[in-house]
């Protein structure tokens, strides 16, 4: 069968949150956008499925906040983090630190429900979404990307456009083909994610339990279901050996505060396995192409703001990419994409730093226990940190010496050692 050819002003590869938000932002400016995804929706995506309070601002801008709420999203009031020795950090999104999110609550909804709602925002704005369509290669003219060759059940098609957006998630093929992808050496973790009914004592707070053999997140995701996401160092994931469900239950059984809560629980989904995750693009653009969402960077699920970063990245890219598409010269187009990348780094730089500090604490039981003792006795500090993870308190707030000194104070260390 001979290849057919279509043209558009932007081709977005990936119809997850990053692709949907980018397509919505571009189509809303009157641009002709085609989105392709190899999956058929609704599909499962291994994810803890929590969306930060500030994520609601972008849902609202996209015109789908009410849709997400009406789809039965759970409302999360804050987070409870348990350290390996049982210390508890409790933070609320609604607090008295002077910052507030677009909403006082986070939302949590299965991705099989959320992603199609986000895609609806893109199609309402005028984008065309093609499911079951996989990228085979990039079309290059000189050094510039000028489209993609795609395969569908009907054969091959060439989609040509002045801009190709890689919103194709972790292990982005677009980033790899442009030689932009870089793996981070640390952390090397693997996640096992499934949904359960009848887990006991699930309340209005997301829970993270950090253990010496990994961590687990538990959260209500609406419809009477609990998302259970266990993340372990890669070498421990080998024990799963083809039995991911058994691995999850054995992991839970090893932890006495968790096991009784699963006595009457029933798993209602398959187990999604993914990892290692940590990766980032050396740069978020190339001539005729840009990266967004996980394709551009992802560190670790612990702080769980990948959906917000994907939506915000799409929103940001939309405002620069329109200039690139309409540019009258290659030089001006590249300048617009470079400006996007600079804006992306400026937006997320501090957050990346906070994620890495938290990632280090999660890797070390001693640090995590210490952090839980400091933050467990200072609810005001815990609220600030939870607000940073909720995307409405600036990350710079917890990077200030006045915040960090609470963790270094020798008196705190001494009293903590006595408590230990």
Q: Using CB under 6 A, list all residues that contact ligand FAD.
A: 13-19, 36-39, 45-51, 134-135, 167-169, 173, 191, 193, 229, 274, 277, 293-295, 298, 301, 304-308, 310
Instruction: Give helix 111-125 / helix 17-27 axis angle, nearest 10°.
Output: 20
Q: Which is nearer to ligand FAD, 19 or 84 (CB)?
A: 19
CB of 327 to ligand FAD, least distance (A): 25
CB of 206 to ligand FAD, least distance (A): 8
Beta-strand pair 144-152/279-281:
unpaired
* Residues 6 or more apart in contact with residue 417 via CB below 8 angstroms: none
Q: Which is nearer to ligand FAD, 28 or 389 (CB)?
A: 389
Q: Which is nearer to ligand FAD, 334 or 343 (CB)?
A: 343
Q: Give whole-number Cα distances, 29 to 9, 54, 56, 322, 337, in Å.
A: 11, 23, 21, 8, 17
Rounded Cα distance, 227 and 203, in Å: 13
Q: Give the DSSP H/E element, type plus range, for residue 316.
A: helix 306-326
Rounded Cα distance, 172 and 174, in Å: 5
Residue 6, token pair as written in the block? 């279509």
Rounded Cα distance, 393 and 137, in Å: 41
Closest CA to 114 of 167, 36, 58, 31: 58
Residue 301, token pair as written in the block? 């699920």
Residue nearest to ligand FAD (CB): 306
Residue 71, token pair as written in the block? 């789809």
CB of 306 to ligand FAD, least distance (A): 2
Q: Which is nearer to ligand FAD, 161 or 193 (CB)?
A: 193
Closest CA to 47 of 250, 240, 199, 192: 192
CB of 169 to ligand FAD, least distance (A): 3
Q: Which is nearer to ligand FAD, 51 or 199 (CB)?
A: 51
| Phi, psi of 298, deg, nearest 5 | -155, 135
CB of 237 to ligand FAD, least distance (A): 12
Q: Which is nearer to ligand FAD, 21 or 374 (CB)?
A: 21
Rounded Cα distance, 390 and 54, in Å: 6
CB of 292 to ligand FAD, least distance (A): 7
Q: Which is nearer to ligand FAD, 87 or 314 (CB)?
A: 314
CB of 177 to ligand FAD, least distance (A): 10
């Amino acid at each position: 069968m001979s290849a057919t050819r279509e043209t558009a002003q932007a081709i977005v590869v990936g119809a997850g949150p990053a692709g949907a938000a980018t397509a919505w932002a571009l189509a809303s400016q009157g641009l002709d956008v085609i989105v392709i995804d190899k999956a058929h929706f609704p599909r499962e995506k291994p994810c803890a499925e929590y969306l930060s309070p500030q994520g609601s601002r972008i849902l609202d801008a996209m015109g789908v906040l009410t849709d997400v709420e009406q789809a039965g999203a759970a409302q999360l009031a804050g987070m409870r983090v348990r350290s390996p020795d049982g210390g508890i950090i409790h933070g609320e999104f609604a607090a008295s630190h002077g910052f507030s999110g677009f909403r006082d609550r986070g939302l949590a909804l299965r991705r099989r429900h959320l992603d199609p709602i986000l895609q609806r925002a893109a199609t309402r704005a005028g984008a065309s979404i093609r499911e079951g369509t996989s990228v085979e290669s990039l079309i290059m003219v000189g050094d510039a990307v000028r489209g993609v060759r795609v395969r569908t059940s009907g054969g091959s098609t060439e989609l040509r456009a002045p801009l190709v957006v890689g919103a194709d998630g972790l292990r982005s093929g677009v980033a790899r083909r442009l030689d932009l992808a870089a793996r981070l050496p640390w952390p090397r973790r693997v996640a096992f994610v499934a949904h359960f009914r009848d887990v006991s004592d699930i309340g209005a707070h997301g829970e993270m339990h950090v253990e010496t053999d990994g961590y687990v997140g538990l959260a209500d995701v609406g419809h009477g279901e609990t998302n259970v996401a266990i993340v372990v160092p890669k070498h421990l994931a080998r024990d799963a050996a083809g039995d991911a469900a058994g691995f999850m239950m054995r992991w839970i059984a090893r932890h006495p505060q968790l096991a009784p809560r699963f006595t009457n629980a029933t798993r209602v989904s398959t187990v999604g396995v993914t990892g290692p995750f940590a990766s980032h693009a050396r740069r978020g653009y190339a001539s005729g192409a840009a990266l967004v969402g996980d394709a551009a960077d992802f560190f670790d699920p612990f702080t769980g703001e990948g959906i917000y970063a994907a939506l915000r990245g799409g929103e940001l890219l939309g405002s620069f990419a329109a200039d690139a598409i309409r540019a009258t010269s290659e030089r001006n187009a590249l300048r617009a994409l470079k400006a996007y990348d600079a804006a992306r780094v400026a937006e997320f730089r501090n957050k990346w730093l906070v994620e890495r500090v938290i990632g280090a604490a999660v890797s070390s039981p001693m640090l995590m226990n210490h952090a839980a003792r400091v933050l467990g006795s200072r609810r005001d500090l815990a609220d600030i940190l939870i607000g940073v993870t909720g995307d409405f308190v600036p990350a710079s707030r917890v990077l200030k010496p006045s915040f960090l000194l609470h963790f270094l104070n020798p008196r705190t260390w001494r009293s903590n050692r006595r408590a230990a």
